[in-house]
Amino acid sequence: MLDGSDAMNADPDYSAAYVRLMTDSPITGDSLVFTIGRGNEIQIAAINILAEKIVGLDLDDAFTNIGAIAKELSSDSQLRWLGPDMGVFHMAAGAVLNSLWDLFSKNKGVPLWKFLSDMSSEEIVAAIDFRYISDALTPEEALEILNRAESHKSKNEAILVSTGVPAYTTTPGWLGYSDEKMLHLTQEALHDGFSLIKYKCGKSLSDDRRRLGKIRELVGPDFPIAIDANQVWDVGVAITWINSLKEFNLRWIEEPTHPDDVLGHARIAREVAPTPVATGEMASSRIIFKQLLQSKAISVMQIDASRVAGVNENLANVLMAAKFNIPVCPHAGGVGLCEMVQHIAMWDSVAVSGHHSGRVVEYVDHLHEHFLEPTNISRGRYMTPQLPGAGAQMHQSSIDTYIFPTGDYWMNGVRI
């Protein structure tokens, strides 16, 4: 249906490498790495290789040593050659770590956001690998940020439980949609109470101007809208293109160029100001985020639950953003990403930067029905998940139907 289509990704086939850690109790650690189709077999091979490293661990020991485990998963000298700290093996490390965090919180009987929020500042800091980021954030500074928030935690948690965190939607904005479908879905999004709507852009300037003109006509001059180019431009093109859309009063321009091009983002940010620049869904590690923050390249930081090395690395990313006073507005356009990343945003709202107007969490209305606890969006806000765990566990029936290549969907031509 071209759900998920944008200027770079013309034919997405939403997929995931799914991980399940088995224990000698009934609980399992479930996680996934979102992909958009081909390449899953490579992702799965990497996960299988790294997962060997945690076989046989005791769960309590694993929690006590989670910082060391994270470091070890990224430190195998031969596998590291295929990174380092980026790409398939880094995402595989994230899958293994996220499965462990799922186990930790299920074992405690709480959702991950609550598990993280109840951890001490020292435990959070101990979970982070500060290698390569200590020039931007030291363990002592991280501790200070967390300790500062400590006395607000119970009040922040009460606000979170009663009002959730604001969501924005990308559902109306896929590039493959007709203007009619886009406007119809925009109307629905307004009705549903979303506080920002995002649209794909970057294939044709005249199309972008036409679409944004129609959108502005519908939503009015002040309603926050953002656009997302998904990396299609060179730096110079990005600057010209974005500046010729200034009249549309954009809340942000997302992924204007290659995700590793920190200096390019910094130049774009300078030359399209005051239009804010956002990126991060494909920022491969905390090291890229560090440079984006240090070089003032972003006004909005978009972490992703399955791109980096799991919860551990996202703890570092959120704390770096707090130090640089940049809001974290997580990316969630993909299967399971909303369910997973909401926990990090909620932890941020309770235990790091608190509740503030800069945070808005992406929401897309696809494939939630496969998850044990689909996101709960109410009046345009993510409400807290209730089930223990980190959010990625799918219904067994969905797994049985769609697992490749043995599921009914593939074997028997079932079309649901």
For Mg ion, the binding residues in 244-273 under the rule CB under 5 A are 254
To Mg ion, the closest distance from the beta carbon of 309 in angstroms equals 20
User: Directed axis angle between helix 87-108 and helix 66-73, to 10°?
Assistant: 160
Q: How long is the chain?
A: 416
Q: Is 200 a catalytic residue?
A: yes
In angstroms, what is the minimal distance from the CB of 230 to Mg ion? 6
Q: How many CB atoms lie within 10 A of CB 396?
A: 9
Is 331 an annotated catalytic residue?
A: yes
- Of the listed 200, 265, 343, 370, which one is catalytic? 200
Give CA–CA dist 33/152, Å, rounded: 33
Distance in Å, CB of 263 to Mg ion, minimum: 21
Closest to Mg ion by CB, 59 or 360: 360
Q: Which stretch binds Mg ion (CB under 5 A): 68-76, 98-106, 221-229, 353-361?
A: 221-229
Strands 376-378 and 361-363: unpaired
Q: Which stretch binds Mg ion (CB under 5 A): 35-43, 93-101, 224-232, 283-291?
A: 224-232
d(CA 196, CA 191): 12
Question: What three-state secondary structure class fits 155?
Answer: helix
Helix (H) or strand (E) holding 214: helix 205-219
Count of CB atoms situated within 10 Å of the CB of 78: 6
What is the C-alpha to C-alpha distance for residues 70 and 212, in angstroms, rounded to an integer? 43
Residue 246 Cβ vs Mg ion, minimum distance, rounded to whole Å: 21
272 three-class SS: helix
**Complex with Mg ion: residue 164 or 256, whichever CB lies closer:** 256
Q: Which of 198, 290, 331, 370 is catalytic?
A: 331
Report how far residue 317's alpha carbon sits from residue 323's, in angstroms, rounded to the nearest whole number: 10
Q: Give whichever of 228 and 339 is closer to Mg ion, judged by the CB atom.
A: 228
Closest separation in Å from C-beta 253 to Mg ion: 11
Q: Choose between 114 and 251: whose C-beta lies nearer to Mg ion.
A: 251
37/109 with CB nearer Mg ion: 37
Q: Which is nearer to Mg ion, 157 or 254 (CB)?
A: 254
Name the segment binding Mg ion (CB under 5 A); options: 19-27, 95-103, 226-234, 318-326.
226-234
User: What does the DSSP 8-state code read for residue 171?
Assistant: G
Binding-site residue total for Mg ion (CB under 5 A)?
A: 2
**What is the SS3 string spanning 338-367?**
HHHHHHHHHHHHHHHCCCCCCCCEEECCCC
Of 332, 329, 330, 258, give the one whose Cα is nearest residue 288.
258
Do the beta carbons of residue 301 and residue 317 sit within 8 Å? yes
Q: How far is the CB of 378 from Mg ion (least distance, A)?
A: 24
Selected binder of Mg ion within 30, 208, 228, 339 (CB under 5 A): 228
User: Which range binds Mg ion by CB under 5 A, 104-112, 223-231, 303-311, 341-349?
Assistant: 223-231
Residue 273 CB, nearest distance to Mg ion (Å)?
21
Token reading at 177: 């949609």
Q: Does 304 bind Mg ion (CB under 5 A)?
A: no
Minimum CB distance to Mg ion smaller for 164 or for 173: 173
* Rounded CA separation 104/221 (Å): 47
Footprint of Mg ion (CB under 5 A): 228, 254
List residues with catalytic annotation.
200, 331
